[in-house]
Chains A and B, each alone.
Chain A
């Protein structure tokens, strides 16, 4: 009974907190640009509004157009439930759960790309192609990061892998994972969530045709994914296992907010890269994770 209650509580925390992040990022961007910007809770209003709206669906689309976003959202929620939260651990924790997390993210990607291709539009095809292609590189970086966490702690269970800081490699790993976070969540410099030129978009191009409740589900899923990566990044850096539960929770929330502000700063201060330079940046992220891995390995042996 307590397990169910705890899981529900955890679920509520993830679902309710996620839409906050894009709001904070936009606020930071507005401050830097000297504007007032939309309210921090804007995405909540948007989601509520979209949920009540009607849907226009392409005449070409199959039911997969609606099913895809739903399954992608479920996969992301599943990934969030596996992700440990400080001392509280994950709702579901077992040996090898980290691989389930990585593949749930992949499932979400498959479903989003599938739904995009439903419309037969060249723009959405382009977005889907970019999404799955760049994901190859970010997945390589992510696997390497996971591997270095595993080597550092001698474990393949997320809760244990994230309990302690990775030590000397933490900075490298944090830098690498931050780049992966930006790429996977389609932020500047990989993609610009604010652009209105379809030719230059990745994620936004994929969801051009979605509207109403399915769009709300996609937007909520995207914010959930952002929160997921921010939480992962924070726990990689923080030795939460050494703190008391309350302090750990405070530190986690603080760091996630810090990461969010950092994303806002990056978006304000840099421009989007040309597409041919995206692989270079992702390769750099992979190398950072690889160096962290080698450091962890060296530390283990020496």
Chain B
């Protein structure tokens, strides 16, 4: 039994699941889980130090032999794909049932298998042509999963935007792989670190993969797609699919020699994504849209780490680059885990209440204690707080940047703003998640729907528990998981192969364990003391006001108001208010909304210009045959003139 056998088994199981998805729900679920477990086992095999797996077919497919390469970087991403893909498949079997969604549930299962298989093929393929084919299949599966609920116009629009952005990205990737094939004479991919003539291609890859990863300002498709897709799809989109973009960047920045300054560009884009992603998130009132913007933020953190790793590699493989890269890679896992946990949690909320609007939620902890508790765990993790996993990866990135500042040379000064803004991102994320947890789960229900909410079943809670346990495990035993990260990092830059991890990672894990244990102990003691001292329940003391109502609570908008004002220059919030007037005011209202600014103020105006120019061109086509003949004559004369000129004296 080797990684190759396990992969083959996983592929066969996924094939069975794709074939049975339409009619046999149970077999689909069983084979998807079997495939995920086998793929995870294969990934663990390689990450734990087992032999890497490489296979070339004797027969060509589409003119090229299949080339599968399963190294530590592939294994790293496959591990995430299999955990999140498997967990969300279980979740979907209760969340998106045949009974509730007779039109789409069957297709949803088949596309789910298609997504897992095509993404797996992207991660394994080592041939440019097959990579592109797999990439397109992956994009199409994503599209059909996003638009599962396509009765709603919003969903169709989100799907269309996704498809357009995705194809713009694929165009860049076509150019990337085709140029590379033309230069090297083969579609085969592999380490080409000596070919400095290939380095400008990195910019094409950055554009193409950057759109998929959702980095600012190429993230325009991301919020609406994540918000309108069914929640198990949002979870896999945010947890895994956008990581395919990161995979591409990691893979090809490792294999190709990146151009000078590439690291700084990536890091700068990362900083912009991190700060602006969380700023936009704070302005949202839609629970899933808010989570989607946090994906932009976390991709930013990953890019900061990757960017500084590139800088370090260009500076003679400085050791701090390994810390930054390790932080970035570990954050790929961490974000995949806690973000899919949060999306599944939001899915349970939507399932129970039928709304994503935070101003209609509230007080859900009473009806949904499991969901509330698990969502809170995810919130602590994504805010980068100890003792969970988000803290570990942010700690690694921070440590790398601190060392970069302390390193001799010109790197130090430019690192300072990145470090300060990374610190700011953490505090902003914390502000955003206190808002989400507080508004959605605590307080008093703000609508009848929130009051009638019921906890979801075990098939929805179970996968969330698995993801939460993974978050906790990485937080408590970082030194153990670092081994896997180090193998992937060594694959990226062989010069970092023998460099050991930070010695203090074990101590950090110990501190996290202590924090968890003592925290639990203190909470128990205080609870016990409170009961002993006498616990009485009474209405909230609202400044002596006798009859507080749900509508008097603080809202999501007011909670984020202070910070939104700081970022108003880019958020451009839209606001409509009717102030109370006169001695006996009859009514007042305030509506505010943070739009997708890049889309509405940059892409759409640019699109309109293109449409207007196209409109001008349309005047040439009017159906009058005489004019068409005239065009042909003019065209012929022009061609003749060109030919004569070329052959002339």
Q: Is the interface of A mostly helix, strand, loop or mixed?
A: helix
Q: Which residues of A contact B403 (CB under 8 A)?
A: 156
Please measure, in the bound complex, the distance between the C-alpha atom of A47 and the C-alpha atom of B503, giving whole angstroms: 41
**Given A92-B511, A104-B386, A156-B399, are A125 and B559 neighbors across the interface (CB < 8 Å)?**
yes
Which of the segments B129-137, B489-497, B547-555, B626-634 contacts the partner chain? B547-555
Among B363, B508, B563, which residue has its beta carbon within 8 angstroms of that of A96?
A: B508
Please measure, in the bound complex, the distance between the C-alpha atom of A133 and the C-alpha atom of B533, giving whole angstroms: 35
Q: Which residues of B contact A293 (CB under 8 A)?
A: 416
Complex contact A209–B395 (CB within 8 A): no
Q: Which residues of A contact B423 (CB under 8 A)?
A: 102, 139-140, 142-143
Complex contact B530–A66 (CB within 8 A): yes
Among B383, B420, B502, B522, which residue has its beta carbon within 8 angstroms of that of A71?
A: B522
Please measure, in the bound complex, the distance between the C-alpha atom of A240 and the C-alpha atom of B424, giving whole angstroms: 31
**Given A128-B434, A135-B431, are A147 and B416 neighbors across the interface (CB < 8 Å)?**
yes
Which of the segments B114-122, B405-413, B449-457 contacts the partner chain? B405-413
Q: Which residues of B contact A212 (CB under 8 A)?
A: 530, 533
Q: Which residues of B contact A56 (CB under 8 A)?
A: 536-538, 541
Among A74, A100, A122, which residue has its beta carbon within 8 angstroms of that of B552?
A: A122
Please measure, in the bound complex, the distance between the C-alpha atom of A136 and the C-alpha atom of B275, giving whole angstroms: 12
Among B376, B383, B438, B515, which residue has its beta carbon within 8 angstroms of that of A106?
A: B383
* B558: interface (CB < 8 Å): yes
Complex contact B553–A121 (CB within 8 A): yes
Q: Which residues of A contact B420 (CB under 8 A)?
A: 140, 143-144, 147
Chain B residue at minimum C-beta to C-beta distance from A134: B562
Which of the segments A21-29, A107-115, A242-250 contacts the partner chain? A107-115
**Given A70-B523, A94-B508, are A60 and B399 neighbors across the interface (CB < 8 Å)?**
no
Complex contact B443–A118 (CB within 8 A): yes
Report A169 CB to chain B, min CB distance, Å.
14
Q: Which residues of A contact B376 (CB under 8 A)?
A: 64, 114
* A62: interface (CB < 8 Å): yes
Please measure, in the bound complex, the distance between the C-alpha atom of A133 and the C-alpha atom of B527, giving whole angstroms: 29
Among A63, A117, A134, A279, which residue has its beta carbon within 8 angstroms of that of B527?
A: A63
Interface 0/1 of B379-409, CB less than 8 Å to A:
0100111100001000100110011011000
* B507: interface (CB < 8 Å): yes
**Given A122-B553, A140-B420, are A96 and B383 neighbors across the interface (CB < 8 Å)?**
no
**Given A54-B533, A103-B385, A139-B427, are A74 and B515 neighbors across the interface (CB < 8 Å)?**
yes
Q: Which residues of A contact B560 (CB under 8 A)?
A: 129
Chain A residue at minimum C-beta to C-beta distance from B439: A117
**Given A59-B537, A75-B515, A139-B423, are A125 and B553 neighbors across the interface (CB < 8 Å)?**
yes
Please measure, in the bound complex, the distance between the C-alpha atom of A58 and the C-alpha atom of B553, giving whole angstroms: 14
Complex contact B533–A123 (CB within 8 A): no
Complex contact A70–B525 (CB within 8 A): yes
Complex contact B536–A96 (CB within 8 A): no
* A119: interface (CB < 8 Å): yes
Q: Which residues of B contact A214 (CB under 8 A)?
A: 526, 530
Complex contact B402–A123 (CB within 8 A): no
Please measure, in the bound complex, the distance between the C-alpha atom of A121 and the C-alpha atom of B551, giving whole angstroms: 10
Report A142 CB to chain B, min CB distance, Å.
8
Q: Which residues of B contact A60 (CB under 8 A)?
A: 363, 442-444, 540
Q: Is the interface of B mostly helix, strand, loop or mixed?
A: helix
Complex contact B553–A109 (CB within 8 A): no
Please measure, in the bound complex, the distance between the C-alpha atom of A43 and the C-alpha atom of B624, giving whole angstroms: 94
**Given A143-B423, A147-B419, are A70 and B438 neighbors across the interface (CB < 8 Å)?**
no
Count chain B CB atoms within 10 A of each CB in A70, A134, A151 and give the residue with the most.
A70
* A69: interface (CB < 8 Å): yes
Among B430, B443, B515, B534, which residue has its beta carbon within 8 angstroms of that of A120?
A: B443
* B543: interface (CB < 8 Å): yes
Please measure, in the bound complex, the distance between the C-alpha atom of A218 and the C-alpha atom of B501, giving whole angstroms: 38
Chain B residue at minimum C-beta to C-beta distance from A59: B537
Q: Which residues of A contact B443 (CB under 8 A)?
A: 60, 117-120, 125
Chain B residue at minimum C-beta to C-beta distance from A156: B402
* A297: interface (CB < 8 Å): yes
Q: Which residues of B contact A139 (CB under 8 A)?
A: 423-424, 426-427
Please measure, in the bound complex, the distance between the C-alpha atom of A86 and the C-alpha atom of B202, giving whole angstroms: 51
* B321: interface (CB < 8 Å): no
Complex interface residues of chain A between 134 and 170 (CB less than 8 A to chain B): 134-136, 139-140, 142-144, 147, 150-151, 154-156
**Given A57-B535, A136-B428, are A150 and B362 neighbors across the interface (CB < 8 Å)?**
no
* B333: interface (CB < 8 Å): no
Q: Which residues of B contact A156 (CB under 8 A)?
A: 399, 402-403, 406
Chain A residue at minimum C-beta to C-beta distance from B396: A96
**Given A53-B533, A209-B541, are A99 and B518 neighbors across the interface (CB < 8 Å)?**
no
Interface 0/1 of A220-231, CB less than 8 Å to B:
000000000000
Please measure, in the bound complex, the distance between the C-alpha atom of A53 and the C-alpha atom of B536, giving whole angstroms: 11
* B587: interface (CB < 8 Å): no
**Given A63-B527, A128-B559, are A117 and B434 neighbors across the interface (CB < 8 Å)?**
yes
* A67: interface (CB < 8 Å): yes
Q: Which residues of B contact A136 (CB under 8 A)?
A: 424, 427-428, 431, 563
Count chain A CB atoms within 10 A of each CB in B395, B437, B444, B526 and give the residue with the most.
B526
* A132: interface (CB < 8 Å): yes
Please measure, in the bound complex, the distance between the C-alpha atom of A151 and the C-alpha atom of B408, giving whole angstroms: 11
Please measure, in the bound complex, the distance between the C-alpha atom of A133 and the C-alpha atom of B413, giving whole angstroms: 28
**Given A107-B385, A125-B438, are A62 and B365 neighbors across the interface (CB < 8 Å)?**
yes
Please measure, in the bound complex, the distance between the C-alpha atom of A124 and the C-alpha atom of B548, giving whole angstroms: 13
* B635: interface (CB < 8 Å): no
Complex contact A55–B442 (CB within 8 A): no
Complex interface residues of chain A between 77 and 107 (CB less than 8 A to chain B): 78, 92, 94-97, 99-100, 102-104, 106-107
Among A67, A106, A122, which residue has its beta carbon within 8 angstroms of that of B426?
A: A106
* A171: interface (CB < 8 Å): no
Q: Which residues of A contact B584 (CB under 8 A)?
A: none
Chain A residue at minimum C-beta to C-beta distance from B564: A133
* A264: interface (CB < 8 Å): no
Please measure, in the bound complex, the distance between the C-alpha atom of A208 and the C-alpha atom of B363, giving whole angstroms: 19
* B529: interface (CB < 8 Å): yes
* B581: interface (CB < 8 Å): no
Among A57, A110, A114, A198, which residue has its beta carbon within 8 angstroms of that of B543?
A: A198
Please measure, in the bound complex, the distance between the C-alpha atom of A154 and the C-alpha atom of B518, giving whole angstroms: 33
**Given A74-B519, A92-B507, are A128 and B438 neighbors across the interface (CB < 8 Å)?**
yes
Q: Which residues of B contact A19 (CB under 8 A)?
A: none
Complex contact A96–B562 (CB within 8 A): no
Complex contact A106–B430 (CB within 8 A): yes
Complex contact A55–B438 (CB within 8 A): no
Q: Which residues of A contact B384 (CB under 8 A)?
A: 103, 106
The chain B residues found within 8 Å of chain A, CB to CB, are 362-363, 365-366, 369, 372, 376, 380, 383-386, 391, 395, 398-399, 402-403, 405-406, 412-413, 416, 419-420, 423-424, 426-428, 430-431, 433-435, 437-439, 442-444, 502-504, 507-508, 511, 514-515, 518-519, 522-523, 525-527, 529-530, 533-543, 548, 550, 552-554, 558-563, 566
Q: List 23 A-B contacts (CB under 8 A).
A: A55-B534, A59-B538, A70-B525, A78-B511, A96-B402, A103-B384, A110-B430, A113-B438, A114-B434, A114-B437, A120-B444, A120-B540, A122-B553, A122-B554, A125-B558, A130-B562, A135-B430, A147-B405, A147-B419, A209-B540, A212-B533, A213-B529, A293-B416
The 3 closest A-B pairs by CB, nearest first: A125-B554, A120-B443, A117-B438
Given contacts A64-B442, A103-B385, A128-B554, 16 further A-B contacts (CB under 8 A): A51-B533, A54-B535, A62-B365, A62-B442, A70-B526, A74-B519, A96-B395, A96-B398, A100-B511, A110-B434, A113-B438, A114-B437, A121-B541, A125-B443, A156-B403, A214-B530
